[in-house]
Amino acid sequence: METWGELLRRHYNYALGQRLDCLRRTRCQFDRCSIVSEPIGDIPEKVDYYSQASELKQTKELFPEYKNIYADCQQQNLMRLDKASKRWLIPDKNGKRGGRPRFKKRGDICSFTFPRVNCPKAGAHLIGNILKLSKIGEIKVILHRPIPDGFAIKQVTLVKKADGWYASFSLEDDTIPEPLPVDEVKSAVGIDVGLEKFLATSDGQAVKIPQFYRKSQQQLARQQRQLARMEKGSKNYQRQSNKVARLHLHVARQRKEFHYQVVHWLCEHYDLIAFENLNIKGLARTRLAKSILDAAWGSFLNILQAVAVKRGKWAIGDDPRGTSIECSGCGARVEKTLKDRVHNCPHCKLVIDRDWNSGINILNRVKQTLGLAFAGCGGYLDASPVRQQLSIAKLGSPFYTALRS
Ligand SMILES: [Zn+2]
């Protein structure tokens, strides 16, 4: 499997080179010259997925070792490149484009895909806990959960990670989850993500940031120091670099698990979840970068939206401008710096936690755009000003027990 990964990596790099070369040679119109530089040679034919896939036959003749790779995997490899370069060249409906596809270094992620599973012409078959791959053989797999009923296995991707090989199956179910009708939304919540807490809800609850990365930072630093002392490329070096990679993997998994727990907790309790669309790239350039990237709100919000759709709930994003400045009680602007943790309104005498205040504002804005006029839980509706404290303790350690049970 490692040989396959390596061969496919080389082929990917070759195909990417072909594409970039073609672009360079055809950048300038054919009856004029570029001021900067001019590539020498013929103008190549247009390179796309089809032209590259039809050259696969030639590849196999020139490099016989490619004959040992299942043909569909090679096509999938080219399709992956095709997708990546289309994301780069063609902007999506928001006018955003992906980055330029990169050449893959030796030892970069090693994976390949079988596009069909368990059908007569498929190259991969899963029977019980045995995965049978064409040209590779039978492998015993550990199913971390049974294949759910009513799902068809579409494809399988084999990935090598620091702690072993993983097979990831894509399943398909034709039924579409029905979203809750808007007028049946009973409970709504606004969430504000912050640095002090992972998030604060509009009804005064908060989730702490677990700071997985910061916690393992010491351990990571120690392992990396040891790695730096070793001779590059030696057996010990390889073993140690695998240790570091495993540690990173562990942190990433902890983070993902935490995100899913919080998201399911939110979807369990609320029908509508309002959040702000943050400018994460902009924030990550500041001094707080490590904390921001550690919290990984971007992936959290992606998970939130995916889970919400799956469970038939609503997750709606809103423009974040001014949510922390506006008073949720009277709507006046109360200027504050990042240091001011408490919202103290001189107009209506409302004193609440700063993030709580933003959470309420976010909820109100989304409600306004949706035209919802229900009281719901959450939202600061009582007009009489009171001093209120965010109940972090409520979600501190009991939060986990509540989630786990
Ligand atoms: Zn006010």
Q: Residue 9 above 90 pLDDT?
A: yes
Q: Which has more pLDDT, 111 or 398?
A: 111
Q: Ligand 1 centroid to 339 CA: how many Å?
A: 19
Q: Ligand 1 centroid to 145 CA: how many Å?
A: 51
Q: Ligand 1 centroid to 327 CA: how many Å?
A: 5
Q: Residue 66 above 60 pLDDT?
A: yes
Q: Ligand 1 centroid to 379 CA: how many Å?
A: 14
- Spell 113-122 as b/e; 16+ CB within 10 A means b: bbbbbbeeeb
pLDDT of 112 reads: 93
Q: Ligand 1 centroid to 334 CA: how many Å?
A: 8
Which of 63-67, 174-178, 371-375 is the least confident region? 371-375
pLDDT of 279 reads: 64
Q: Ligand 1 centroid to 374 CA: how many Å?
A: 22
- pLDDT interval class at 393 (50, 70, 90): very low
- pLDDT interval class at 362 (50, 70, 90): confident
- Long-range Cβ contact pairs of 67-71 (< 8 A, separation 24 or more): 68/3, 68/4, 68/135, 69/4, 69/7, 69/8, 69/112, 69/135, 70/114, 70/123, 70/133, 70/134, 70/135
395: its two tokens: 């979600």
Domain-wise residue ranges, the chain: 1-106, 110-175, 182-404
Task: Say how far apart CA 241 and CA 176 lie, in whole Å.
Answer: 44
pLDDT of 402 reads: 38
pTM for the full predicted model: 0.75
280: its two tokens: 């994460």
CA 367 to the chain's CA centroid:
27
Which of 1-10, 62-71, 311-320, 335-344 is the least confident region? 335-344
pLDDT of 391 reads: 47
pLDDT of 379 reads: 39
| Residue 359: Cβ within 10 Å count | 36
Task: Say how far apart CA 207 and CA 103 lie, in whole Å.
Answer: 40
- Residue 225 CB-density burial (10 A; 0-12 exposed, 13-18 middle, 19+ buried): exposed
CA dihedral angle for residue 299, residue 300, residue 305, residue 309, rounded to 10 degrees:
110
Tokens 């790099």 belong to: 13
Q: Ligand 1 centroid to 383 CA: how many Å?
A: 10
Q: Ligand 1 centroid to 39 CA: how many Å?
A: 65
pLDDT of 386 reads: 43
Q: Residue 394 above 80 pLDDT?
A: no
Q: Residue 397 above 50 pLDDT?
A: no
The average confidence (pLDDT) of the chain is 82
CB 103 within 8 A of CB 16: yes
Backbone angles phi, psi at 153, to 5 degrees: -80, 125
Q: Ligand 1 centroid to 292 CA: how many Å?
A: 29
CB 160 within 8 A of CB 5: yes
Contacts of residue 318, Cβ cutoff 8 Å, sequence gap at least 6: 274, 275, 276, 277, 362, 365, 366, 369
Average pLDDT (327-352) is: 81
Q: Ligand 1 centroid to 166 CA: how many Å?
A: 54
Q: Ligand 1 centroid to 333 CA: how many Å?
A: 8
Q: Ligand 1 centroid to 371 CA: how many Å?
A: 23
Task: Return the closest-CA partner of residue 336 out of 314, 319, 364, 358.
Answer: 358
251: its two tokens: 């942190």
**74-78, 209-213, 254-258 — which one is most confidently predicted on average?**
74-78
Q: Ligand 1 centroid to 26 CA: how many Å?
A: 61
pLDDT of 374 reads: 46
Q: Ligand 1 centroid to 348 CA: how many Å?
A: 4
Q: Ligand 1 centroid to 202 CA: how many Å?
A: 16
